[in-house]
Amino acid sequence: MKRLFSLLVFVFLIVLVPNFLFAERPPMEITPLVGYHIGGATDFYQGRMDIKGSVSYGIMYSIILPPKGVSIDLSFTRADSSLSFTANAGFPGYTDTTFKMASNYIMIGSNRDFLQDNIGFA
């Protein structure tokens, strides 16, 4: 819960700080993200671990900076899934286990358009 609160404060600051840094408010974009994380499996001596594929969802916040064509992006993506471990015979102490898991990604990046004119895209 503390991490979620810290993330919300961080995103809130990302939204407010650009308004104070620039005299003229820069354009911004908020984009919803939906995708699919492909599952996978791997074998160990003790058994097999399998992560199920699942739908991912998230949001991206972009600020377009005054030199046109440059943007700073912050995105958050989450995928809820399940992980199962199947123990091999002959390894005492290892049992078959399944539990829920989540993958969270926070990414910071930038983009720059190299074309100055919208050639072909009027």
Per-residue model confidence as pLDDT tens for the chain (122 residues): 567 656 666 665 666 565 555 556 667 888 999 999 999 999 988 899 999 999 999 999 988 877 667 888 999 999 999 999 999 888 888 888 999 999 999 999 988 776 665 555 54
Quick one: tokens of 55?
Answer: 């739908």
Dmax (CA) of the chain: 69
> Is residue 14 assigned to a domain?
no
Quick one: tokens of 2?
Answer: 């503390």
- The answer to whether 52 and 82 have CB atoms below 8 angstroms apart is yes
**Looking at residue 93, what is its pLDDT?**
85
Q: How many domains, the chain?
A: 1
- CB-based contacts of 95, cutoff 8 Å, min separation 6: 87
> Is residue 83 assigned to a domain?
yes
> Is residue 35 assigned to a domain?
yes
> Is residue 99 assigned to a domain?
yes
> Is residue 46 assigned to a domain?
yes
Question: pTM here?
Answer: 0.63
Q: Is the dihedral of CA 68, 58, 32, 36 positive or negative?
A: positive
> Is residue 96 assigned to a domain?
yes
